[in-house]
Amino acid sequence: MVSSAGMLKDIGDKLCLVVAKAAGTTSTNDPDVRLCTLLLAVDEGIQLWGADGRKLYANPATLNQFGAVADVADGGFEALAAVCLGLDGTPIQPADFPVARVLANGEPCADVLLQLRVPGAANRWLRVSAKPMSFGGENGVISSTVDVTQLIEREISLERQAHYDALTRLPNRVLLADRMKQAIAHSKRTGETLAVCLMDLDGFKPVNDTLGHKAGDQLLQEIARRLEETIRADDTAARIGGDEFTLLLGGLKSPQQAEQVLQRVLDAIAMPCAIAGQAVRVTASIGVTLFPGDVADGDQLMRHADQAMYKAKEAGKSRYHMFNPAIESRIRANQGLLRRIEDALDKGQFALHYQPKVDCRTGTVVGMEALVRWQHPVLGLRSPGEFLPLIEHDDIIVRLGEWVINEALRQMAEWRGAGIDLAVSVNVSARQFLRGGFDARLAEMLSAHLPGLERRLELELVETAALEDIAAVRTVMAHYQKLGMRFSLDDFGTGYSSLVHLKRLAVDVLKVDQTFVRDMLDDPGDLAIVQGVIGLASAFGQKVVAEGVESIEQILLLLELGCDIMQGYGIARPMPAERVPGWLAGFQADPRWRLARSQYPMRSDFELLLMEVSHRHWLERTRVAMQQSGELPAPGYDSCRFTQWYAEAGIRRYGGLTEFREIDMIHRKVHKQAEALATFIRAGDLAGAESARMALESANEEMLQQLHSFRVGLAGTIH
């Protein structure tokens, strides 16, 4: 009996014999030969292996595929494995060869794609399958090898068409998208910077037009070659359309590194190319954005690079421009706001509120200031501080400004119809005023409304804006002043007007900025400014208006200083137009305003006032220091500014008056309490400190009253 170990070998031997016979005969009567013509005819390599991995049989197709290596008599499968490469083109381990895998685990192993090394020719592609085979209790392996080179090449070429640009052989948009994903993922993993660059050739179209498309194609191929040469192998250069390319530069340690590569690219592109017998030169404009600094997905990164590319073109071409996410997001937010404001204008969501200006000396309303409001459907009433600063450099502010003037004129005419003749001031932005044609637009607007309103209209210009182009402002102003219109300098004191400016500008009104008014009772510096502005206005024959007046003390002080016209929450808040008639009807001068009516100070009295404020300032600092447990200002009588003034100018001027000397007595008391307070605080005696503080407050109150009545008394004697 034939041992089972020999059975498979027998089959193999038999096959060898029969196949040899079939190959050498034309007889078709022999059934063996008929069977074997099949084995001879198939293109598929078929191999039979013993349990020890030795070859028992390989059909002729195997020999065709593998050549001499397959023919080694009694050779093992290792001979075949040795000439095979994996998908990636690297040699495979013999244990990975399908026959070995079946021998190792007894499982079939189908459709393994391998490359076959062919000396002196291109590699071929094989699909290898193997499965266990058992015959009469004897185990072996049967395997097949199919040459799929054509199939794979077709696939590769289809793949190429789908992923590569036919002209330049660079990746196309599809592959770029894939590479982009990988590059972003890589950058996220490593923390390294990825530069996404969009490049457009400058001057490509003329080449195409004058030298023809063929020359254009050659140029593009040359550019592609240079791009690939300039960037690293890991980076991507893709052609995404006509003369547009994208570069993905990964693994960057700094933006400077990206800039270096880009400069090299620009230089490489700008080198002349020999095309159609001519030296052709083009340049490139490149827009760049850096991930992850620019937090965006692939599509957004491309859009940002595209925006930057247009900037590079605008800036003169042949350069790169870096996208700046911070600036762009601000611009985008602004553009969103600009659109919303335009929309709000179209939908009539803006309104004017009116704030009265009152002459507190005569107790009469002298006019209203129109202040714009945005009646936002969701957010409610928005004040100009929330939207004007964001649009003041855009033309939308001009449109809004014109709406404001038109609306104010319309409202004035309506009030006139109701028997209310009010002067109205509107705020005008610098851009609106200084843009060519404001003159003509204003004339048009005036002519569209009731005639004569110009004599009741006042334009408020912010001081800094008016200084931008004094000559232009002056021309417009002079023209309309002749028609009776008035001009004021708003927020006066916050800009840098010199006396020369003030003289040249020749406005009708100065509006003292509200910050000075707010603090003038506590800050001698602010008081001096307010007084200075009032003095200037009177020297130049201008009216002065104080804005932001909130308290009766401020009103009285301003009246004392000679500023009669005031505006502020202390008189009335800005109100919608429909509330104005009612407010006017109910308006009554505050009787307390009369207190100051006869008290016009002389310069000497101003010093007294200044000292009073200086004293308040010292006390206020003491209070704040106590609250914040900080350093108390010097509590001593001798270190006080009031003391110094009192001892010199004060005594010289008012020394003969008992009331004045009484002030000094109380002033000393104030400082004694302050010193006591400081001692208690140093000793950590809280109860003592509190009682000293109360004594200080009451001494202080006494002193201020004494000062005030002394001043009032003085005024009485002078007038």
Which residues are near Mg ion by CB under 5 A? 427, 460, 490-491, 547
Smallest separation (angstroms) from ligand C2E to the CB of 415 = 18
Q: Which two tokens stand for residue 9?
A: 């070998």
* By CB under 6 A, residue 384 contacts ligand C2E: yes
For helices 298-314 and 325-346, what crossing angle results, to 10°?
A: 90
DSSP character string of 203-220: SHHHHHHHH-HHHHHHHH
Q: Is 491 in the site for ligand C2E (CB under 6 A)?
A: yes
Q: Are 525 and 516 in contact (CB under 8 A)?
A: no
In Å, how far are 29, 642, 663 from 705, measured between CA atoms? 143, 15, 9
Whether 81 and 40 have beta carbons less than 8 Å apart is answered as no
The DSSP secondary-structure symbol of 171 reads B
Q: Nearest 5°: CA angle at 608, between 607 and 609?
A: 90
138 vs 547 by CB, closer to Mg ion: 547
CA distance 598 to 529: 23
Query: Tokens for 283?
Result: 């340049």
Name the strand (E) or helix (H) holding 2: none
Instruction: Give backbone dihedrals phi and psi of 14, rounded to 5 degrees, phi first.
Output: -60, -45
Question: In the set 569, 602, 644, 719, which binds ligand C2E (CB under 6 A)?
Answer: 569
| Closest approach of ligand C2E to the CB of residue 372, in Å | 3
548 binds, options ligand C2E, Mg ion, none, Cβ within 5 to 8 A by partner type: ligand C2E
Separation of alpha carbons 89 and 551, rounded Å = 89
Work out what residue 454 binds among Mg ion, ligand C2E, none; the CB cut-off runs from 5 to 8 Å by kind: none
The residue (of 222 and 547) whose beta carbon lies closer to Mg ion is 547
Minimum CB distance to Mg ion, residue 511 (Å): 6
The yes or no reply on residue 550 touching ligand C2E (CB under 6 A) is yes
| Residue 600: other Cβ atoms inside 10 A | 15
Q: Residue 662, interface with ligand C2E (CB under 6 A)? A: no
Q: Which stretch binds ligand C2E (CB under 6 A): 53-61, 123-131, 423-431, 578-586?
A: 423-431
128 vs 404, which CB is nearer to ligand C2E? 404
Say which residue the tokens 């002519």 belong to: 447
Distance of alpha carbon 154 from alpha carbon 159, whole angstroms: 8
Q: For residue 445, what are the CA distances in angstroms to 131, 389, 442?
A: 95, 25, 5
Our CA angle for 363, 368, 369, nearest 5°, is: 135
One of 144, 145, 172, 429 touching ligand C2E (CB under 6 A): 429
> What does 198 bind: Mg ion, ligand C2E, none (CB cut-off 5 to 8 Å by kind)?
none
The half-sphere exposure of 622 on its side-chain side, counting CA atoms within 13 A, is: 26
Kindly tell me which of 144 and 427 has the beta carbon lying closer to ligand C2E: 427
What x-and-dash track marks residues 331-370 binding ligand C2E by CB under 6 A? ------------------------x---------------
CB of 458 to Mg ion, least distance (A): 10
- The answer to whether the beta carbons of residues 126 and 80 sit under 8 Å apart is no
With the CA atoms of 294, 298, 304 and 306 taken in that order, what torsion angle do they form, in degrees rounded to the nearest 10? 150
Phi/psi at 533 (5° precision): -65, -40
Of 365, 372, 422, 681, which one interacts with ligand C2E (CB under 6 A)?
A: 372
Contact call for residue 385 and ligand C2E (CB under 6 A): yes
Q: Decide: is 72 part of the binding site for ligand C2E (CB under 6 A).
A: no
Please give the backbone phi and psi of residue 510, each rounded to the nearest 5 degrees, phi first.
Answer: -110, 130
Among 147, 200, 402, 490, binds ligand C2E (CB under 6 A): 490
C-beta separation of 86 from 79 below 8 A: no
Stretch that binds ligand C2E, among 102-110, 241-249, 533-541, 545-553 (CB under 6 A): 545-553
Q: Which is nearer to Mg ion, 427 or 673 (CB)?
A: 427
Residue 612 contact, options ligand C2E, Mg ion, none, Cβ 5-8 Å cut-off depending on partner type:
none
Indicate which of Mg ion, ligand C2E, none lies near residue 371 (CB less than 5 to 8 Å, by partner kind): ligand C2E
**Shortest Cβ 477–Mg ion spacing (Å):** 16
Q: Does 541 bind ligand C2E (CB under 6 A)?
A: no
Contact 384, 353 (CB under 8 A): no
When asked if residue 427 is in the footprint of ligand C2E (CB under 6 A), the reply is yes
> Residue 568 touches which of ligand C2E, Mg ion, none (CB < 5 to 8 A by kind)?
ligand C2E
Sequence-distant (6+) residues with CB within 8 A of 162 are 174
Among the residue ranges 12-20, 541-549, 614-622, 661-669, the one whose residues contact ligand C2E (CB under 6 A): 541-549
Establish if 574 lies at the interface with ligand C2E (CB under 6 A): yes
How many Å apart are CA 642 and CA 463, to the nearest integer?
Answer: 34
The reply to whether 458 sits near ligand C2E by the rule CB under 6 A is no
Only one of the segments 241-249, 415-423, 568-576, 650-658 lies at the binding site for ligand C2E (rule: CB under 6 A); that segment is 568-576
Residue 548 interacting with ligand C2E (CB under 6 A): yes
Handedness of CA 164, 165, 170, 173 (dihedral sign): negative
The phi, psi pair for 700, rounded to 5°, reads: -65, -45
Query: In sequence order, which residues have a C-beta less than 8 Å from that of residue 489 and are 6 or more positions away?
Result: 460, 461, 462, 463, 466, 497, 505, 507, 509, 510, 511
Total residues contacting ligand C2E by CB under 6 A comes to 26
Output 511 or 693, the one with its CB closest to Mg ion: 511
CB of 533 to Mg ion, least distance (A): 13
CB of 539 to ligand C2E, least distance (A): 23
**CB of 556 vs ligand C2E, minimal distance in Å:** 15
- 427 or 700: whose CB is closer to ligand C2E? 427
The amino acid present at 7, given as its one-letter code, is M
- Asked whether position 568 contacts ligand C2E by CB under 6 A, the answer is yes
Closer CB to Mg ion, 490 or 605, in the complex? 490
Work out whether 371 is an interface residue with ligand C2E (CB under 6 A).
Answer: yes
First-to-last alpha carbon distance for the chain, in angstroms, is 152
335 within 8 A of 523, measured Cβ to Cβ: no
The answer to the question of residue 401 lying near ligand C2E (CB under 6 A) is yes
Write down the residue that tokens 């102003």 correspond to.
Answer: 477
Nearer to ligand C2E, 322 or 559 (CB): 559
Is 402 a binding residue for ligand C2E by CB under 6 A? The answer is no
Question: Strand ranges (DSSP E) for 524-564?
Answer: 543-546
Residue whose token pair is 């004392």: 560
Q: Are 711 and 610 in contact (CB under 8 A)?
A: no
Q: Which is nearer to Mg ion, 116 or 467 (CB)?
A: 467
- Closer to ligand C2E by Cβ: residue 220 or 566: 566
Buried residues in 37-52 as b, exposed as e (16+ CB within 10 A):
eebeeeeebbbbbbee
Task: Tell me, residue by residue from 462 to 481, as one string, x for binding to ligand C2E by CB under 6 A and - for no binding.
Answer: x-------------------
356 binds, among Mg ion, ligand C2E, none (CB under 5 to 8 A by kind): none
CB atoms near residue 312 (< 10 Å) = 23
Task: Decide whether 81 or 372 has the Cβ nearer to ligand C2E.
Answer: 372
Residue 372 interacts with which of Mg ion, ligand C2E, none, CB < 5 to 8 Å by class: ligand C2E
Residue 368 Cβ vs Mg ion, minimum distance, rounded to whole Å: 11
The interface partner of residue 276, options being ligand C2E, Mg ion, none and the CB cut-off 5 to 8 Å by kind, is none
| Positions that interact with ligand C2E (CB under 6 A) | 355, 371-372, 383-385, 388, 401, 404, 426-429, 460, 462, 490-491, 514, 547-550, 567-569, 574
